[in-house]
Amino acid sequence: MGRGGGSSNNNNSHWNQQQQHKFKPKWMKPESNVKREEKDGVTVTEYTLSRRQLKRYAGRKVVDPKLLQKYSKGEGVVQKRYGRKNSILRHKMKKKEEKIHQAEEEAARTETLLTESSGVLEAEEGTYTAHITQKDIRNAVDITTAAKGFDLQLPFGPYKMRFTPNGRHLVLGGRKGHLASFDWVTKKLHTEINVMESIHDVCWLHTEQMMAAAQKEWVYIYDNQGTEIHCLKKLDRVLKLEFLPYHFLLCTSSESGFLSWLDITLGKEVIQFPTRKGRIEIMCQNPYNAVLCCGHAKGTVTMWTPNKKEAVMTVLCHPRPVKAIDVDPSGRYMATTGLDRMVKIWDARNMGEQLQSYLLPHGAMNVKFSQKNLLAVSLGNVVEVFKDVISGGASKSYMTHKADGIVTDMQFCPYEDILGIATYKGYSSLIIPGAGEPNFDALESNPYMSLSGRREAEVKAVLTKVPSNLITLDPFTIGQVDVPTLQEKVDAKAKLIHVKKPEIDFTPRYRMKGKSGSAQKFKRKQKVKEGQQREYLKAAMEQRDTLLSDTTDNNTKQEDKPSEVLDRFKPKKKVQKKTEF
Amino acid sequence: MSIKKINVISRNPDQYLRETKRDIHKVQRNYDPDLHPFEAAREYKLALNAVKLEKVFAKPFIGSLTHTEEVSAISRHPSRLSCIFTGTVDGEVLLWDIATQKRQWQVQGHNGKVWCIVGAPDGNSFFTVGNDKTIKRWSLEDSDLPIDTWLCDTMVTGLTHHRYRQEFVTCGQRMLLWDVGTKAPKTSYDWTTTGDRSDATTTCVKFSPVQADVFASGDHSNNLVLYDTRAREVKKLKMSMRINSLAWNPMEAFILTAASEDYNVYSFDIRNFDNKSRVVCVHEGHTSAVTDIDYAPTGREFCTASFDKSIRIFRTTEAHSRDVYHGKRMFRVNCVLWSTDNKYILSGSSDHNVRIWKAQASEKMGILAPREKAAKNYNEELKNKFGHFPELRRIGHHRHLPKHIYNAKKEHRAIKDAQARKEANRRIHSRPGAVPFIPFKHRSVVGLQDEIPSTSGFSPDQSGGGDEDDEEEDDM
């Protein structure tokens, strides 16, 4: 046997060697498979591949695993969990998994079809990109791009601003009542009005046709002609506005610490409740899961959904008041700044885990992520943009800009290399190469949308309006298996152990011959009731006993398990002796 | 200036806008998951929309073919897809074109009710059976006189034709096998339980379309009987209630489905006819006797007609109906037919009408554009994926039922509960094992009588032990 086994091993190793030898890339050698010919002074090389090599390289190009990871839809179902019992189910699951995998791969392959490339800025050796001014950039780029960087001197500041999700339109709201919206690329003004009240925040609704402004008392909705469409008196003394585009919810935070969600398709309030955290000035949405993040003076960041009147998460981020929060468009990272002069980057899906922290010369009043994860912070009238903040490589700023006035609001324009900043003295747009996503998805948000396209998109968006009760920290809970939590399991078990007597509703039948007197009736009723309850409790007790005995058995077994050599000298258990007799 | 390299996103609008107004819009795609948030939630919403739209478009009624009398029989045309034959209780036989909803031909076929119409497999003729104890064979060439007429001495209530041979079997007071060429029956399959022939009057008979020599019948003494013309082998299953109609699954030849008087429909596996697993599925839902049944040509679904003034569609593997069709003026349904192209269901009822229904209530008729087709397929897939969610299930399962069905259902529920309660009480107060647990599937099956047919008859008491009478039956 041993010899036979040995020989077979030898054979195997020999076979392997042969294999290895065969797989050496012979075709790389120029002599064997390459033909070179000179034709009209040009050398033409022909590579001929053997049949085996052709087989190896046949089919479609293999997708880069890193790219596959980007388009991954998750791990998939573990086949073993379903066991071997139900082969039909197993087969179905396998087919489904294959389809999902195929979809991932096809999506990854489309990467080659993307036309635009991301922006780049490199400085010459010995200099820094931070030293490059906006003027230098405007001189260096083409004329249409240069026109995208501009300054507006406006007298009704301080201003608040917001871009539409497709990055085409801009709304500005001045504290002194100036409300203006325009197509900032073509510089075409939609409307400009004075609302004769203070404006605290502005926000686009689902299209550029409608915008909301948080004014002194209430929130107003204007159309792009400047006509007041609605006055929302339910939303009073609002400081911050957010719009959840997929849920059609207008979210507000107020001076009195109230959060409210308003469904703009119905005009109905979904929920409004006090946070009991005081004035909420700092609020942003997480675009990944539509959860609202609020920053507080105690240095905490809280997260809120319309389905729970308590914060779904509270994190202590800074020892001093939080001044600004932002979540990156993919929802992976959150940046917070505080009066302790720190900028901190957090893992937004696993809060409490701080990824990076940077010390700034002053406390930053604004912080914003771009689509390509550049981070802009404003320190007084200075705007600094950092690159690679997540990997920790941002020791020096990528770009800096000194504005005319103190920066009050800013936002990176989606799908453009532009950072818009609103100050006390107006608005300016800065060109920040490499900030925006170069390739948009026209079915999601299209900067070149036509009128009919917008109408169609509006209808489709309303049709796929996500119900507000699906807002959770993990947006994929709806597509996952509903597994009971540990708490639910514990509760279920406790319910089994502590059973109550069931209430028995029994009315005795009427009987003749003096058997239906009230006393007789009561007796009969009691008899039936007790009998049934006793039976129920008996069954419940039995169930409980089996449950408890199971757990105790497990415990004893666990105790028995670690046996050692010296155990034999221990005194034997009495119970065992009894069983022997 | 210290810029070494600079590149800023600068799109040429010409690449993103269509050139002319007649051009289609350019759609740039980027499948990056970060640009498509809430994928699962949006898909769920789409699934919800799909289910709601399905309900919005669920208008199955297409039209009705008006008769002068109650419709008693309905049959496919043996060679044309769009035509059907109907028979009325006053003996008229009519040929209808479904596409135009027009009557094409009409004849006073019988004196009295037309019991059954069957197309001949040769594709050139069809048979009718009337209350006047005659079987007639008609040609398809619009002649008002039948090709052949067979006179019987007993009542005939049903007929089924062999798929390949020129033979047919009639049921009624006697089970007779006829050859098309001769005027007298070849064989009889009489098998009474008490010796009294009227007791074993058969109500329905059906040849299997796949196992061509096998046929089944249901009779007034609540038997479901399986025959084989080659061996005369018979298996007889006693049910608690009468079988009104039978249908064979055209795709799974071993599945025989029986519409019963006890409001249920039973699917049998004839391979397991001898043992307990013979009942594959009990299809519930009707609130009155089920009168007729017909399979879809795919073998995945069947429809049933009932005395409760409704028709139901069942999936073969499911116990409860997929859909229920009813009309305000529709009365008791006598006969039902699933069209050969799997698109329509026809039901003949006692309100002098044959109604045409869509087999899929929300299906769009006519040719679908490629985008419509894609949208339909996508919606189907979404419904599969999210169909188990409570809200989707609630919307998808909701049916508006007439009051009488709703009330009858409630009443039957109460009766069933009372029976279950009574049995449970009886079990509590009896010796353990005295009141056995009988699965619902087996309740309405009394048992099997394994016998060879004989004209002599036997009493059910003798047959209990499974004794075999070896007498040959008379050839006629």
| Residue pair A156/A174 in contact by the 8 Å Cβ criterion | yes
Interface of A with B in 465-484 (CB under 8 A): 465-467, 470, 475-479
At A550 the pLDDT is: 67
Task: Say what angle helices A451-463 and B39-56 make with each other, to 10 degrees.
Answer: 90
Q: Which long-range contacts (CB under 8 A, 24 or more apart) does B406-409 make?
A: B408/B287, B408/B288, B408/B308, B409/B287
| CB-CB neighbors (< 8 A) of B36 in chain A | 441, 444
Residue A116 has its nearest CB partner, among B9, B25, B49, at B9
Nearest-CA distance A316 → chain B (Å): 27
Encode A238-250 in three state secondary structure: EEEEEEECCCCEE
Neighbours of A34 (CB within 10 A): 13
Neighbours of A277 (CB within 10 A): 18
Minimum CA–CA partner of B9 in chain A = A119
Nearest C-alpha neighbor of A159 from the set A461, A351, A457, A403? A403
For the stretch B258-297, pLDDT in tens is: 999 999 999 999 999 888 889 999 999 999 999 999 999 9
The CA–CA distances, whole Å, from B193 to A566, B187, B200, B228, B405 equal 81, 19, 7, 20, 36
B200-208 mean pLDDT:
90
Neighbours of B373 (CB within 10 A): 12
Nearest C-alpha neighbor of A297 from the set A277, A270, A327, A311? A277
A interface test, pick of B1, B3, B6, B8 with most A CB neighbours within 10 Å: B8
B33 Cβ under 8 Å from any chain A Cβ: yes
At A94 the pLDDT is: 87
Neighbours of B138 (CB within 10 A): 25
Q: Is A426 exposed, middle or buried (0-12, 13-18, 19+ CB in 10 A)?
A: buried
In the structure encoding, which two tokens stand for residue A75, read together? 């791990």
At A352 the pLDDT is: 79
A43 Cβ under 8 Å from any chain B Cβ: no
Encode A220-270 in three state secondary structure: EEEECCCCEEEEEEEEECEEEEEEECCCCEEEEEECCCEEEEEECCCCEEE
Distance CA B370, CA B250 (A): 31
Q: Is the pLDDT of residue B168 over 60?
A: yes
A interface test, pick of B1, B6, B388 with most A CB neighbours within 10 Å: B6
β-bridge partners, A368: A376
In DSSP notation, B175-215 reads -EEEETTSSSEEEE----SSS-GGGG-EEEEEE-SSSTTEE
Task: Say what angle helices B370-386 and B390-397 make with each other, to 10 degrees.
Answer: 120
In the structure encoding, which two tokens stand for residue A490, read together? 């514990």
β-bridge partners, B176: B170, B188
Question: pLDDT under 50 in chain A at which residues?
Answer: 1-24, 576-581
A504-535 per-residue burial string, b: 16 or more CB within 10 A, e: under 16? eeeebeeeeeeeeeeeebeebeeeebeeeeee
A442 Cβ under 8 Å from any chain B Cβ: yes
Residue with tokens 């409001």: B263
Q: Is A343 exposed, middle or buried (0-12, 13-18, 19+ CB in 10 A)?
A: buried
For the stretch A323-366, pLDDT in tens is: 999 999 999 999 999 999 999 999 998 887 899 999 999 889 99
B155-181 per-residue burial string, b: 16 or more CB within 10 A, e: under 16? bbbbbbbbeeeebbbbbbbbbbbbebe
Distance CA A249, CA A126 (A): 50
Residue A119 has its nearest CB partner, among B7, B17, B35, at B7
The phi-psi region of residue B177 (left if phi > 0; otherwise alpha if psi is between -120 and 50; otherwise beta) is beta
A331 Cβ under 8 Å from any chain B Cβ: yes
B20 Cβ under 8 Å from any chain A Cβ: no
User: Could you give the angle at the alpha carbon of B407 between the alpha carbons of B403 and B410, nearest 5°?
Assistant: 145
> B41–A441: do the CB atoms touch at under 8 Å?
no
β-bridge partners, B168: B161, B178
In the structure encoding, which two tokens stand for residue B326, read together? 């009813």
Nearest C-alpha neighbor of B186 from the set B388, B475, B423? B475
At A351 the pLDDT is: 81
B13 Cβ under 8 Å from any chain A Cβ: yes
pLDDT band of B107, cuts 50, 70, 90: very high
* Chain mean position to CA A343: 21
| CB-CB neighbors (< 8 A) of B35 in chain A | 437, 440-441, 444
B interface test, pick of A115, A125, A538 with most B CB neighbours within 10 Å: A115
β-bridge partners, A169: A183
In the structure encoding, which two tokens stand for residue B116, read together? 């059954």
B446 Cβ under 8 Å from any chain A Cβ: no
For the stretch B34-67, pLDDT in tens is: 999 999 999 999 999 999 999 999 999 999 999 9
| CB-CB neighbors (< 8 A) of A102 in chain B | none
A536 Cβ under 8 Å from any chain B Cβ: no
Q: Which of A37-46, B23-32, B170-179 comes out lowest in average pLDDT?
A: A37-46
At A551 the pLDDT is: 61
Task: Say what angle helices B370-386 and B39-56 make with each other, to 10 degrees.
Answer: 110
| Residue pair A403/A421 in contact by the 8 Å Cβ criterion | yes
Distance CA A195, CA A172 (A): 12
Positive or negative torsion for Cα A525, A526, A530, A531: negative
Distance CA B231, CA B234 (A): 9
DSSP three-state, residue B312: strand
Provide the greatest CA pair distance for chain A.
Answer: 128
Nearest-CA distance B26 → chain A (Å): 8
DSSP three-state, residue A124: coil
B31 Cβ under 8 Å from any chain A Cβ: yes
Which residues, 6 or more positions from B288, have their beta carbon under 8 angstroms from its beta carbon?
A: B263, B306, B307, B308, B408
Q: Which long-range contacts (CB under 8 A, 24 or more apart) does A346-353 make?
A: A346/A315, A346/A317, A348/A286, A348/A288, A349/A288, A349/A473, A349/A474, A351/A301, A351/A303, A351/A313, A351/A315, A352/A315
Positive or negative torsion for Cα B81, B86, B92, B94: negative
| Residue pair B408/B288 in contact by the 8 Å Cβ criterion | yes
> B45–A466: do the CB atoms touch at under 8 Å?
yes
In the structure encoding, which two tokens stand for residue A128, read together? 């820094």
Distance CA B216, CA B258 (A): 10
For the stretch B331-353, pLDDT in tens is: 999 999 999 999 999 999 999 99
A77 Cβ under 8 Å from any chain B Cβ: no
Nearest C-alpha neighbor of B263 from the set B443, B403, B70, B449? B443
Nearest C-alpha neighbor of B45 from the set A474, A95, A475, A272? A475
> B36–A444: do the CB atoms touch at under 8 Å?
yes
Residue with tokens 């490339």: A117
Positive or negative torsion for Cα A501, A507, A512, A515: positive
Size of interface A-B (CB pairs under 8 A): 144
Minimum CA–CA partner of A145 in chain B = B10
At A7 the pLDDT is: 38
| Residue pair A322/A336 in contact by the 8 Å Cβ criterion | yes
pLDDT band of B196, cuts 50, 70, 90: low
User: Could you give the angle at the alpha carbon of A501 between the alpha carbons of A495 and A505, nearest 5°?
Assistant: 130
Q: Is the ipTM of this complex over 0.90?
A: no
> A441–B35: do the CB atoms touch at under 8 Å?
yes
In the structure encoding, which two tokens stand for residue B327, read together? 């009309």
Q: Is A287 exposed, middle or buried (0-12, 13-18, 19+ CB in 10 A)?
A: buried
B9 Cβ under 8 Å from any chain A Cβ: yes
β-bridge partners, A189: A182
For the stretch B417-467, pLDDT in tens is: 999 999 999 998 999 999 999 999 988 898 887 644 444 333 333 333 333
Distance CA B331, CA B350 (A): 6
Minimum CA–CA partner of B382 in chain A = A479
What are the DSSP E strand ranges found in B22-142? Answer: 61-66, 71-76, 83-88, 92-97, 102-108, 114-119, 125-130, 134-139
> A446–B28: do the CB atoms touch at under 8 Å?
yes
Distance CA A13, CA A86 (A): 41
